[in-house]
A and B are shown apart, each in its own frame.
Chain A
Amino acid sequence: MFQFDIFNRNKLSKPLPNLWDFLAFVMVGCAFLMIAGGIHEVMSPAEEFSASDISLDIWFLPYYAGRSVFRMFAAIVIAVIATFLIGALAAKNRLAEMIIVPIIDVLQSIPVLAFLQISVFFSIYLFPDRVLGVELAAMIAIFFAQAWSMILYFYQSLKTVPESYYEMSKIFRLTVWQVFWKIEVPTARPGLIFNVMLSLSASWFAVVEAEVIQIGHTKAYLPGLGSYIKVAQEQGNLKAIGFVIMTMLLVILIYDYVIFRPMQVKIARYEDSILEHHDHWLLTMLSRASSFKVLRNIWPYFKKLLLGALIVVGIYVCYVSVNWLWHLMDGSFIEHFSWKVDWGKWWVSEDVLKNLVYVTFVSAVRIIGVLLLCLLLFVPLGIYIGTKPVLAQFVQPIIQMLAAFPPNVLYPVMMYLVFEYRLDPEIWVFPLIMISAQWYILFNVIAAMLVIPKDYLLVVSSLKCSRSMILRKLYLPSVAPYIVTGLVTGAGGAWNATIMAELFTWNGKVVHATGVGSLMKIANEQGDSVLVAWSVLMMCLVVMVVNILVWQPLYNYAIKRFQ
């Protein structure tokens, strides 16, 4: 038995290898190869990264998938570290709280891809002759896609740690370090994992987009799934697109099964009701394989080693940033990008500005339309699924999976259809944006339906209420606050999608739908960084104003009125 093993651990003097060890060896070996390979590639000298380097041969797909996953994984690790550092700082220090929380609130509402432009500038400058520079730019964009919501969540959950835990820790005189790892991190853990899972879609979105980086007038194609898609799209290769969609789905499935499922099972063991049995072969492997028992014994020493390594890396990062700042003051940075602090250059003409306002307005109206359409389609669907708990249990993981699927992988298919059948892009941009927003709404409605107390359902059925009355008096008020939550996240996704979806390219042909997204993208490809900056600014402004004027009051109202 599992328990038996744990308590006789110190009596087992010589752990013998078993079958689980073999499996563990294979997995650790693979992981090691991937990390080593990734690091090797990243640290190698810069290449050209031209589109011709990307092969559309499907046998290259596993390699590209590996590169993308490595990028993603590195970004998550950085995001987790940042979450612990910044989140804890904001929760513990009032001054830091007053500065950090509003800043993150703002950063959260800025579309991910806007960051890509900024991160390209300084990461390439930092490591001009290494792949690391371009890789770093991609990683930072991915990091920005998920770090903010994680940091905010961690900060909020630190504020909800029960006071009695802190009193207990003081009575037993635990150190700050022990309190952090034994009390604070575990409190946040379940929600944090869920948070990462939810933002997985956003980060895959960023992975796919960030792999093709515009530097001046040239494009750098980092080996990965995103570049593969872009190249396939440019060459009009529909078959390759099909393969990459399948690969993506497979990667997400594996990711979910190997990383998130074991974590959830482990949490369910101490959180859920007693009778359910939770198991996962990875956890069984961890507890059964003798080699891990040995590992567990040397873990305390390894932990110290790891900490030391982290400190060294931290010092290196500090050194590099100081160095960078030094260069910046030196003036070489400005020279490098042939920038002059010439504010006049950053002004745009009145006509351009008018056009910018107009297209932003068009995009905003389109997003409102998309959200309304989502409501019309997915609120009834969600309520229908929610009334059938068995069905809901069945479809929920599927929806979760679909939601994690980056919509921009699907874009080329739609774009192919638009060109093939000469469809109007102004209309067909709708479904593209919709797939970025719809899942959040559906997901939230189903969740809301499932938490309606059983007693209420009994009351309405005993009163023999008509269907429309149940809908009006019970279901809609119950899901209302959740719909607002879904709309807020959905709107975020929609703005992100706008940048990518409004410009249709296929096999070298280009058409665009009117909007700030296509304007930004065209400006970016023409190397017009002034216009890009203005449109990013415009977009952020609209997103933030809508957040403050619409979403927050709506959310507060829904909470107060219906909960």
Chain B
Amino acid sequence: MSGSIISIHNVSKVFPKRSSQDVSVLANIDLSLRENEIVCLLGTSGSGKSTLLRIMAGLIKPSSGHVFWHGQPVHGPIPGVSMVFQTFALLPWLTVLENVELGLEAMGHLSVSERREKALAAIDVVGMGGFESAYPKELSGGMSQRVGFARAIVVEPDVLLMDEAFSALDVLTAESLRNDLIDLWVSQKTKLKSILMVTHNIQEAAYMADRILIFGSNPGRIMADLKVDMSYDRDQEQPKFIQLVDSIYHHITQASESFSRIGGRLKPVDLHFRLPQVDVSTLIGLVETLHSEAASQVVEISELAEELHLDLDELFPIIESLQVLRFAQLKSGRVELTFAGKLFADATLLDQKRVFARQLLDYLPIVRHIHKQLNEKGKSIHQSEILSILRQKLSDNVALEVLKTVIEWSRYAEIFAFDVNTGHISLDNPEESDQSASETT
């Protein structure tokens, strides 16, 4: 076992809030990055894995706990660490060569010609030779990220941190870039000793990592540490690879299941539940897909992800929403429609709205709260009132997102109306009153 390069002990991160409870993003994390390994942090978005990466890079200070670089405590960015960004972070006013040279610019001891030589070499290594004088606007996403890699390795770092480096690229480009990175890693042309990457793509993690850390959210923590015992000529059709992917799915769903259940039953959510941002149409789509899937209406989640071409990041919020509304439930890696879910899938458009409204009122306390307020006060309430309730336990941005989702779902269900100009939530929807009138007759 080789020594650890970066290690963190008992790191937590809390974002302070003025008015109410602080928002905890990371809780008590221990992690060490050893020599000669690619470690992958796998988790859904908003789970705090990017925050963890930035703590390890020295960009963010942890609220508590310590970061060590070769056993020495770290304060601020570490010289031997370089990073590749999801958004590439290339400066549009500099050419490819100037962008790569920028990485070297802070190293005062290099002469202009040495700097140029190193930059040209790094550009060649990533296969971007010939593009030295191009501006970033002339490059595709894949090429831009190659330049991002060149800039990262030109400073000859020990550790490379990758923050969703492939997620802004299309499938084919991402795959070729992953292959080239693995080749570079295996060939040992660089001085890289270790790579830590953050991703929400399960295939990507299975393809690249020596070690996969599965990340759970609210607050972010490591749920499982999977050692991958495969050489780097991995093939997605290989039984061993498929087995690995399945086991990753298993770990993730297990983590999610244990979180959402109490004693085998689904846990009811509270007033401040952090509702995932999911479209109504997406919810309906998935329910209908599940309904048409098979007679049993039980589907393996890994199959579903593959069939719908959805990432972990995209699929889990939808399933979580369905589960909250009791349209479906997750059981040992499978999704199963509930009675309400089947009813919903079979119903006509208008009846679907009615079923949806009932589930919302029954299972989402915040919707029930608004409905009750409206019925008691009679008139309308302002969105800020609801926002202030959500803000008691959620950060400002998240509270706003949750409110948006609540309003969208409730508008679809015709529980209440919302006027964006005034910010008022009210019952006086003309269609609504017509409908209730026709219902009473």
Report the minimum CB–CB distance from B122 to chain A (whole Å).
Answer: 13
In the complex, whether A280 has a CB less than 8 A from a CB of chain B is no
Q: Are B133 and A174 in contact (CB under 8 A)?
A: no
A-side contacts of B82, CB under 8 Å = 171-172
Proximity bits, B72-89, A CB within 8 Å = 1, else 0: 000001010111011101
Q: Are B106 and A178 in contact (CB under 8 A)?
A: yes
Q: Are B92 and A168 in contact (CB under 8 A)?
A: no
- Whole-angstrom CA separation of A173 from B155 in the bound complex: 11
Q: Are B59 and A270 in contact (CB under 8 A)?
A: no
Binds B, one of A2-10, A29-37, A66-74, A462-470: A2-10
Q: Are B135 and A6 in contact (CB under 8 A)?
A: no
In the complex, whether B328 has a CB less than 8 A from a CB of chain A is no
Q: Interface size of B by Cβ–Cβ distance < 8 Å?
A: 33
- Whole-angstrom CA separation of A487 from B54 in the bound complex: 46
A170's nearest neighbour on chain B, judged by CB, is B77
In the complex, whether A159 has a CB less than 8 A from a CB of chain B is no
A-side contacts of B113, CB under 8 Å = 10
In the complex, whether B91 has a CB less than 8 A from a CB of chain A is yes
Provided the pairs A175-B106, A182-B102 are in contact, do residues A561 and B83 lie with their beta carbons within 8 angstroms? no
Provided the pairs A174-B102, A270-B137 are in contact, do residues A167 and B92 lie with their beta carbons within 8 angstroms? no
Q: Interface size of A by Cβ–Cβ distance < 8 Å?
A: 29
Q: Are B137 and A7 in contact (CB under 8 A)?
A: no
Q: Are A182 and B91 in contact (CB under 8 A)?
A: yes
Provided the pairs A164-B85, A164-B87 are in contact, do residues A269 and B57 lie with their beta carbons within 8 angstroms? no
Candidates B81, B86, B91; contact of A183 at CB < 8 Å: B91
Q: Are B137 and A168 in contact (CB under 8 A)?
A: no
Provided the pairs A162-B89, A165-B91, A269-B135 are in contact, do residues A171 and B105 lie with their beta carbons within 8 angstroms? no
- Whole-angstrom CA separation of A168 from B84 in the bound complex: 9
Provided the pairs A167-B59, A173-B106 are in contact, do residues A274 and B138 lie with their beta carbons within 8 angstroms? yes
- Whole-angstrom CA separation of A172 from B84 in the bound complex: 11
Candidates B81, B106, B137; contact of A274 at CB < 8 Å: B137
A-side contacts of B97, CB under 8 Å = 7
In the complex, whether B132 has a CB less than 8 A from a CB of chain A is yes
In the complex, whether A560 has a CB less than 8 A from a CB of chain B is yes
A186-223 interface with B by 8 A CB criterion? 186, 189
Most interface-central of A170, A174, A175 (chain B CB within 10 A): A170
- Whole-angstrom CA separation of A167 from B77 in the bound complex: 10
Q: Are B106 and A172 in contact (CB under 8 A)?
A: yes
B106's nearest neighbour on chain A, judged by CB, is A173
In the complex, whether A351 has a CB less than 8 A from a CB of chain B is no
- Whole-angstrom CA separation of A186 from B91 in the bound complex: 9
Report the minimum CB–CB distance from B106 to chain A (whole Å).
Answer: 4
Report the minimum CB–CB distance from A560 to chain B (whole Å).
Answer: 7
Provided the pairs A186-B91, A186-B93 are in contact, do residues A168 and B105 lie with their beta carbons within 8 angstroms? no
Proximity bits, A259-279, B CB within 8 Å = 1, else 0: 000000001011111100000
Candidates B79, B83, B93; contact of A270 at CB < 8 Å: B93
B103's nearest neighbour on chain A, judged by CB, is A172
- Whole-angstrom CA separation of A142 from B102 in the bound complex: 38
- Whole-angstrom CA separation of A172 from B82 in the bound complex: 7
Candidates B54, B58, B102, B116; contact of A172 at CB < 8 Å: B102
Report the minimum CB–CB distance from A143 to chain B (whole Å).
Answer: 27
Q: Are A173 and B79 in contact (CB under 8 A)?
A: yes
A-side contacts of B187, CB under 8 Å = none
B-side contacts of A175, CB under 8 Å = 106
Q: Are A174 and B106 in contact (CB under 8 A)?
A: yes
A-side contacts of B77, CB under 8 Å = 170-171, 173
- Whole-angstrom CA separation of A178 from B82 in the bound complex: 18
B-side contacts of A162, CB under 8 Å = 87, 89
Most interface-central of A7, A168, A170 (chain B CB within 10 A): A168
In the complex, whether B441 has a CB less than 8 A from a CB of chain A is no
- Whole-angstrom CA separation of A274 from B137 in the bound complex: 7
B-side contacts of A273, CB under 8 Å = 137
A-side contacts of B106, CB under 8 Å = 172-175, 178
Top 3 closest A-B pairs, CB basis?
A3-B133, A164-B89, A168-B89
Sample 30 A-B pairs with CB under 8 A, ordered by A number.
A3-B133, A7-B97, A7-B132, A10-B113, A162-B89, A164-B85, A167-B54, A167-B59, A167-B89, A168-B85, A170-B59, A171-B57, A171-B59, A171-B77, A171-B81, A171-B82, A172-B106, A172-B151, A173-B79, A174-B102, A182-B94, A183-B91, A186-B93, A189-B93, A267-B93, A269-B135, A270-B136, A271-B92, A273-B137, A274-B138
Beyond known contacts A172-B105, A270-B92, A274-B137: 6 more, CB 8 A cutoff: A10-B113, A164-B87, A170-B58, A174-B106, A182-B105, A274-B138
